[in-house]
Structure 1
Amino acid sequence: MWRRRITIDDQAITDGSGITLKQSLFPNFLVTILFFLWGFAYGLLDTLNSHFQDELNITASMSSGLSAAYFGAYFLCPLTVSGWILRRFGFRVTFMTGLCVMTIGCLLFWPSGVKASFGGFCGSMFVVGAGLSTLETGADNFLAICGPPRYSEIRLNLAQGIQGVGTFVAPLLASRVFFANTVDTQQGLKNVQWVYLGVACFVALLVPLFYIAPMPEVTDADMGLQERDISETDVGPFKKQYNLFLGVWSEFCYTGAQVAVANYFINFAEEAGYSASKSSDLLAVGQGLYTFMRFVSSGLITIGVKPRYILATYLGLCFIFGVAATTTSGPTSVAMLILVLCFESACFATIFTLALRGLGHHTKRGGSMLVAAISGGAAIPPMTGAVATHTGNFHKAMAIPTAFYVLAWIFPIYANTTSSSSLPGTRVIKIETGAGGVTG
């Protein structure tokens, strides 16, 4: 149905923005596979951080170098190469490029393991992050705009739920299989090599699949036309997209806080009195609730609960339970931190789709900025690790991500206090092309 092209004209009008729900199902399903991939990679990252501290005898702040490398790629790529590839060559080539780069990054873990080089692992993780950020530059945008606008939040939250499955499975496999019976550092590092070799093989097989699969292209001109049909006004210059800029800020703060909590959850639980294996299991419980709540949130949006209400409530609860986790001790503090993971669930996808609303021909550029905001994961975890190293207390260190939940809360406050006529994410949208309506 959709022809394969090497390049696209982003100023050309196509039928991409008007595809029906039925037409969008298969390409959206295919792209959702990618969400499982980076959920799995992210889940491994959390567990690897903890194991590297033990096996390479490094501090908590040093181990955050893995996160800094991974999420540092998110800052560089979407704003430069990845965003340009998306606008110049379209979604298909963006996906294929991201998969190829990720494959290379996974293969680089082998020589890093042979040399037992933490710097090598950080470099490998940067390349993996470059691949995944390229994939996410395409995939988050694709799910947000491929299909009827009324289902935008639902599509992305469901895909994020599948990502959560990968995040849930990865630490379980790591603790029960990859690191279950390791008796020395060399064996543990060898297991890491084999894990990433397997991931590389799987990712490489997806490249030809995305080449042959039918994939609609939605251009900036399509999105501009759709927005004019909705609002009957011009979206204005990019520098006046204040809703987007607040969304980018919120995404940066939220993602950094989320990554910090996940990275140091095991250390936090061990400090509360749990064993290393039990702490890994508790992280898996938290990630399982995180995943479950994403599907619940999709259901709430389906029955008419406004996404901006969900976002404000969830971020507020993250702050409340974060404060409770830092001010209590023992099993109670761990239970509070698990609840933080639980209510982080729908935040990313909801911030992304609300911030992207109403951008018209600025949509892809705005989406690239929102993906770049994921680089908060390179800034806030090192701050948290530095506090933990300085104080020797992971409970006190959790005050850092807790504070950033408050800063992220600025966007939903804006979304819920600005009039519906001035905030794109709150309008009721009706499109005559069969795309349906949307309530923000």
Structure 2
Amino acid sequence: MAGGVPIVARAAANDRELTGAAALTLRQSLLPCALVTTLFFLWGFAYGLLDVLNAHFQSALGITKSQSSALQGAYFGAYFLFPLLFGGPLLRRFGYKVTFMTGLVIFGIGCFCFWPSGIYSSFGGFCGSMAIVGWGLSTLEVSANPYLATCGPPKYSEIRLSTAQAVQATGTVVAPVLGSYVFFKNTEDLNSLKNVQWVYLGVGVFVFCLAFAFFFAPIPEITDADMELQATSDELSQEVEPLRKQITLFWGVAAQFCYVGAQCAVAGFFINYTLETGRDHATSANLLAVAQGLFAIGRFAGAAMMKFVKPRYVLLTFLIGTCVFSILSMNIGGTAGLSFLNVVFFFESCCFPLIFTLAIKKLGRHTKIGASFLVSSISGGAVWPQILAQVADRKSTHFAMLVPFIGFALATTFPVYVNLFQRDRMDIAFETVTPARDVEERSIDDEKVHVSMKE
């Protein structure tokens, strides 16, 4: 027990039982949230390496932009299948801790599969390995995103997830720099692909060590009953509607599909865009690191803004920014266009965590399955880069920036809908005054409480 709130750890979580974990105070939630936040750096690092590998494989294996986009297709294609077929059911049956460990193990196995792929210089093998990595990471995202959104005071839900996503963005900054200057410095021939083997072998070993650490980590479970109580414990308290009537969730899923696809299309072909401006590969990788740095800065800035500005306003502002600057980067060439494309990264920063948290707001017992749908929508990263690649092969990467602009524009319909029709639902936690510590840290009954949950 920590501060009067029982910390319940089980091999299998009983979703009809209150554990009190969703009622953790800000101070009590710091440790479990910090542990889970370490996972965000992992998939940020993996995603950052993906962008670098995309460009380097074009040179080392002699493949086209369209063919190299299959690497992203494999990675994000896993996000389409496994959140709903594997990660979501696993989370609902065994709880967060088991899902964390399982995702890490699968991620590690995928990293080890890069070794035989490198031996045979098989691009298909690399794609298969990346699909397993995506399987593991999608399992982690199914659990980590909703966990941070619900572990602690609801008022800070968006801030918690945005801060963790900022840590993830830090991984995307570090990975391109290490990839271009250390890991894949010279990937112009097949022999140099051995570097890829060693890098992913090291990552795999680290991931297995982290899975072992999570086995002993104090991760409190949050059940459907906890989330139902959290969703109905304010002045807007009302029974949570059936899943099929959750319009905000499904609109958020569609928006996330379009947004993530557009984001991945921009990041995956950023180096190709810079090459068209006359830069070389090394300089392009540096510029990608700068862009990812702006992405990370934007997430920290957005998290700070949400202390004073309602999250729904922040999301609308940032998505409008992506639309404006992506269309400018399409129509303006040279250094100016490249600068506008960098600004796109800044405005992309807060969109994913805000779409996620606003879409699952007050879902109650549907939070876990809602999170599965939202993580599955990340599969947009397998579709939109393919479209951009086809346009880029026929026209140019500059002209192909029309594709992410369309994605950003479609995603913007979600905050427009939220601001027009869901204001009260989104603002209730933001406007709640955090209680004083002596009241906030009150104990809850240690006995197991079973609640009746309607389908």
Which of 306, 310, 327 in structure 1 is aligned with 2:310? 306
SS in 2 for 1:354: helix
Cα shift at 1:354: 0.6
Counterparts of 1:209 and 1:43, CA distance in 2: 24
Counterparts of 1:413 and 1:344, CA distance in 2: 17
Which of 340, 365, 370 in structure 2 is aligned with 1:366? 370
SS in 2 for 1:122: helix
Kept in 1, the 8 Å contact 2:76–2:131? The answer is yes
Counterparts of 2:165 and 2:422, CA distance in 1: 29
Tell me, yes or no, if structure 1 residue 390 matches structure 2 residue 394: yes
What corresponds to 2:345 in structure 1? 341
Cα displacement string for residues 136-156 of structure 1 (whole angstroms, at most 9, x for unaligned residues): 111001100001111111111
Cα shift at 1:269: 0.5
What corresponds to 1:425 in structure 2? 426
Superposition pairs of residues 153-192 of structure 1, within 5 angstroms: 153-182=158-187, 184-187=189-192, 189-192=193-196
SS in 2 for 1:73: helix
Kept in 2, the 8 Å contact 1:248–1:373? The answer is yes
Cα displacement string for residues 18-59 of structure 1 (whole angstroms, at most 9, x for unaligned residues): 111111111111111100000000000000000001110111
Tell me, yes or no, if structure 1 residue 211 matches structure 2 residue 215: yes
Tell me, yes or no, if structure 1 residue 412 matches structure 2 residue 415: yes
Which of 295, 301, 320 in structure 2 is aligned with 1:296? 301
What corresponds to 2:406 in structure 1? 403
TM-score, structure 1 length as denominator?
A: 0.95
SS in 2 for 1:78: helix
Counterparts of 1:16 and 1:405, CA distance in 2: 36
Counterparts of 2:207 and 2:119, CA distance in 1: 22
Question: Could you list the runs of 5+ residues in structure 2 that have no partner in the other structure?
Answer: 2-6, 443-455
Cα shift at 1:182: 4.8
Counterparts of 2:21 and 2:343, CA distance in 1: 40
Kept in 2, the 8 Å contact 1:415–1:426? The answer is no
Distance change >3 Å, CA 227–CA 181, structure 1 → 2: closer
Counterparts of 2:29 and 2:171, CA distance in 1: 23
Kept in 2, the 8 Å contact 1:293–1:346? The answer is yes
Distance change >3 Å, CA 226–CA 237, structure 1 → 2: same
Cα shift at 1:4: 3.1
Residue type of the partner of 1:426? D
Residue type of the partner of 1:425? M
Question: Could you list the runs of 5+ residues in structure 1 that have no partner in the other structure?
Answer: none
Kept in 1, the 8 Å contact 2:104–2:137? The answer is yes
TM-score, structure 2 length as denominator?
A: 0.92
Counterparts of 2:417 and 2:117, CA distance in 1: 46
Tell me, yes or no, if structure 1 residue 257 matches structure 2 residue 258: no
SS in 2 for 1:334: helix
What corresponds to 1:152 in structure 2? 157
Which of 24, 27, 36 in structure 2 is aligned with 1:31? 36
Counterparts of 1:69 and 1:435, CA distance in 2: 46
Cα shift at 1:419: 5.2
SS in 2 for 1:71: helix
Kept in 2, the 8 Å contact 1:18–1:434? The answer is no
Counterparts of 1:329 and 1:195, CA distance in 2: 35
Count residues in correspondence: 431
Cα shift at 1:335: 0.6
SS in 2 for 1:28: helix
Residue type of the partner of 2:159? I
Cα shift at 1:360: 0.9
What corresponds to 1:42 in structure 2? 47
What corresponds to 1:197 in structure 2? 201
Cα displacement string for residues 353-408 of structure 1 (whole angstroms, at most 9, x for unaligned residues): 111101111111111111111111011011111111122x1111111011110000
Kept in 1, the 8 Å contact 2:19–2:222? The answer is yes
Kept in 1, the 8 Å contact 2:59–2:188? The answer is no
What corresponds to 2:72 in structure 1? 67
Counterparts of 2:187 and 2:88, CA distance in 1: 42
What corresponds to 2:453 in structure 1? none
Kept in 1, the 8 Å contact 2:56–2:188? The answer is no
What corresponds to 2:4 in structure 1? none
Distance change >3 Å, CA 154–CA 360, structure 1 → 2: same
Let me know the Cα RMSD of the aligned residues: 1.5
